[in-house]
Structure 1
Amino acid sequence: MRIGLITPDPGHTLLAAATALLAPEHTVGVLDPAARDGAPARPADVYLLKSRTERALELARELEQRGAAVVNSAAATALCQDRTRMAELALGAGLPFAETRTHDSLSAWAPGAALSGPVVVKSRRSRRGDLVARVDDGTRLGRLARDWPHEPVVVQEFAPNSGWDHKLWAIGDRVFCALRRSELSPGGRGPTRPLPLDELPAGWADLVRETGAVFSLEVYGVDIIDVGGGKPLIVDVNAFPGIRGQAGAPEALAALALRRATGRTRATR
C-alpha cells in the first residue's frame, strides 16, 4: 500500500511512530503543503491529513476530487476550525455541548456586554495561539477588547468544574484519555497526566465515538469537563490532534491507514 502524510512535520511523534510500523512493508511518502503547488499526478491509496492550514486543506480537497481517501476529510477538518459551526452541529445532534453565542468582533460586543456571571471567550477560528480566556467582569473584557479588537469570538457561560480537562482522543474506534489542568484554572495550564480508560465516568468513551460520528472524524480529540457527578460537557472538538504519549496510538493509526487504503483500493477496482 502507498500511504501519504499531508504535513510539514513528518517527524511528529505519532506520525513518525506510525511510519516506522508501516515502512517495512508499505510505501510512506510526505506532502508538505507549503512546498507543493498541487496534488501528485498519481495519488497514494490513503492520506493522513495532519495539518490545518488553508494550503493543506486545498491539497486535501484536490486529492479527494481525484478519488483519494483522506483521513480526516478536508470538510471535517475545516468544520472543526470554526467554533460557531462546531457548536451548531453538536447541539443540533443532541450532544452535551456548551451553549455558544457568536460576535463579529470583541470591540463591537464588549462595550454593551452585560455579564451576569463568568464567561469563556474564544476566537471563533480555532488555531495555534488563538484567544481562550475566562472573563469575570467588564474590566477584564475591556482589556481583551483592546488586545484583540477585531477578533471574531464565541462566548460560552463558564461551567463550574474541577479545573481539569479530560483530554479524550480517538483513532477509529480506539479511545485514549488523559487529564490536563485547564488553561482557565487559576494556575493556568498544567502537565498532562495519564488516565486509564476504565477510570472514565460511565458512557464517556461512547460519547467520544458518537461525537466522531456526528463530525465525520476518524482521528480526533474531544475535550470534556465534568460539571458534577460525572456529567460531561464537551468544550472542544479537534481534527487529528497530537495524541502524544498514548500507548497503542501509533499501532491504531497504522492499522486505520491500512484499512482505509484497502477500502479505497477495493472501491477503485
Structure 2
Amino acid sequence: MLDHRQGQRSVAFLLGKPPRAGTLLPEVMALLNAADVDTAVHLPHDQPELPDWVAGAHLVVHRGLKWSALRSVAQLAEARVPCCNPPAAVALTRKRPALMALLSQAGLPVPLTVAVSDWQEARAAATTLSVIKTAEGGDGRGENVLAGTRGDLPGAPPFPGPYVVQPFIANDGWDRKLYVAGARVRSLLKPSPLAHGHVTGGAPIAVDDALSRLAGRVADVTGLEIFGVDFLMGEAGPVIVDVNPFPGFRGVGEGPAMITEHLLARLD
C-alpha cells in the first residue's frame, strides 16, 4: 500500500508476477525510494480487483500483464491516471500485423508481413525462405518463431496460431536490440534466436545518431516510453523485426538508472 502523505510522490507497480531479487524492477524501486518516491506492488493476476491506492498513485507502472489485467490499466488511463507504458501502446505490440502495418505506414523499415489464421496457410505462404511467428507478440523472448520454406517446415503446428509470415532478411547472423527508456537508448548484439533460442544479455554496441532517431520514431509511432526494438542489419541498413514493451534490460548495466530517470521525469 502506498503512503499518500502530503507531497509524497508515489508509483504503483502492477506486475504479472512477483519481482525477483537481483532483477530489474527491485533495483528500480530501490532507486525510486532513494529519491523519496513511495513504491508498492500489486499482482492483478492473483487479485484482479485493483485496490483504491493504485488509482491514487501519481504514476502506475505495469509490466507483463495478461489481456484482462491490461484492460484494468486501460480503465485507469481513461480515468486520467498516468500510466507507463500507455496501455493502448502495449496492446498494439501484441497485435503484430497491426504493429508492422503502422510502422510501415510511418516509413520505418520493416519486413512485409502477411497474417494467416492457421499453420497450413503459413506453410503455403512460405514460398521462399520465410520467418513464421505468432500473430500475438510482445514478450521479446524470441520464442514461437521458426524459419524455413514450405518444403522443410513441419507438417504439424510447432506452436499455436494465428501466425504472421515474413520474408527472411539476409543478415550477418546477429540480432541487435535497442533498449529505450524515454530519451535514453542503449543497444546489445545478440545471437539470433532462430539458431540459439532465447538468449539473455549480449555485447554492448554503440548507438549512433541513426539508431537514436530510429528509436525515437518508434516511440512517436507507437506511444511507448520504455521498450525494446529488435532489428537486423540488412543489406540496406537496419530492419525492425519486433517491438516489445518494457523488456528486462538484461546486460544493460545502466538499465535500472535509465528507467528510474524516466519515471522521475514523469513524476515532475
Taking structure 1 as the reference length, the TM-score comes to 0.86
Deviation of the 1:164 alpha carbon: 0.5
**1:252 aligned residue (241, 255, 258):** 258
1:135-188 CA distance string (max 9 Å, x none): 134232424x3x44x611000000111110001110001001101100123x55
Deviation of the 1:108 alpha carbon: 4.4
- Residue in 2 that maps onto 1:120: 131
1:72 to 1:193, Cα distance in 2 relative to 1, 3 A: same
SS state at 1:139 partner: coil
**2:19 aligned residue (10, 24, 31):** 10
Shifted more, 33-42 versus 78-87: the winner is 33-42
Residue 20 (structure 1) aligned with residue 30 (structure 2): yes
- Residue in 2 that maps onto 1:261: 267
Distance 1:217 1:127 in 2: 12
- Residue in 1 that maps onto 2:46: 35
Letter in 2 for 1:88: A
1:94-139 CA distance string (max 9 Å, x none): 10011100101113453xx164420000000126685200013423
Residue pair 2:177, 2:189 contacting (<8 A) in 1 also = yes
Distance 2:162 2:115 in 1: 8
Distance 2:240 2:257 in 1: 27
Give matches, 1:1-269, under 5 Å. Answer: 1-7=9-15, 8-11=17-20, 13-24=23-34, 25-42=36-53, 43=55, 44-110=57-123, 113=124, 115-126=126-137, 130-143=143-156, 145=157, 147-148=158-159, 151-185=161-195, 188=197, 192-198=201-207, 200=208, 203-228=210-235, 231-262=237-268
Q: Runs ≥4 in structure 1, deviation > 3 angstroms?
A: 107-110, 127-130, 187-192
Residue pair 2:175, 2:192 contacting (<8 A) in 1 also = yes
Deviation of the 1:56 alpha carbon: 2.6
Corresponding residue pairs, total? 253
Residue pair 2:228, 2:246 contacting (<8 A) in 1 also = yes
Distance 2:20 2:92 in 1: 26
Distance 2:96 2:32 in 1: 34
1:210-261 CA distance string (max 9 Å, x none): 11111100000001100136x1100000011111231222122112212222
1:51-94 CA distance string (max 9 Å, x none): 23123302211221332111001111011011111111111111
Residue pair 1:83, 1:124 contacting (<8 A) in 2 also = yes
Deviation of the 1:33 alpha carbon: 1.1
Letter in 2 for 1:40: P
Letter in 1 for 2:18: D
1:19-48 CA distance string (max 9 Å, x none): 111113121011111132333324200011
1:258 to 1:158, Cα distance in 2 relative to 1, 3 A: same
Distance 2:183 2:138 in 1: 26
